[in-house]
């Protein structure tokens, strides 16, 4: 599975962005998907995950109520809608695919190249 993120950019605090992650291959619907983010000098942090069917979603406490993960298996795409963005949300955001839903980065088998999100105060 190859993953390509898009949708990052610069936004003012309180604003919104929607990230997309397009997957190649016919087996996209078999994978749980997740979004992680990383800032310089820190490990990748879990933000949100969604089951293969889309029926179950999971969020880090820091983004719960502000971010929404969703997927469209017909389009082989997973999304992260980010609202009420804060300066501390600034990071490189990565999507990832795994055979199980988890918040543990090392379990994920496939990763995208990342997309930069910057939030001005």
Return the pLDDT at 118.
Answer: 98
**Positive or negative torsion for Cα 39, 63, 81, 12:** negative
Encode pLDDT of 1-55 as tens digits.
Answer: 999 999 999 999 999 999 999 999 768 889 999 999 999 999 999 999 999 999 9
């Amino acid at each position: 599975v190859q993953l390509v993120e898009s949708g990052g950019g610069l936004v003012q605090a309180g604003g919104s962005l929607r990230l997309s992650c397009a997957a190649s291959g016919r087996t996209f619907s078999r994978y749980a998907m997740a979004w992680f983010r990383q800032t310089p000098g820190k490990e990748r942090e879990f933000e949100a995950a969604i089951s293969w069917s889309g029926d179950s979603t999971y969020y880090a406490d820091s983004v719960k109520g502000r971010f929404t993960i969703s997927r469209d298996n017909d389009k082989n795409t997973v999304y992260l809608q980010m609202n009420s963005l804060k300066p501390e949300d600034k990071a490189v955001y990565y999507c990832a695919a795994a055979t199980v839903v988890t918040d543990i980065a090392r379990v994920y088998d496939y990763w995208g190249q990342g997309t930069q999100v910057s939030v001005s105060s």
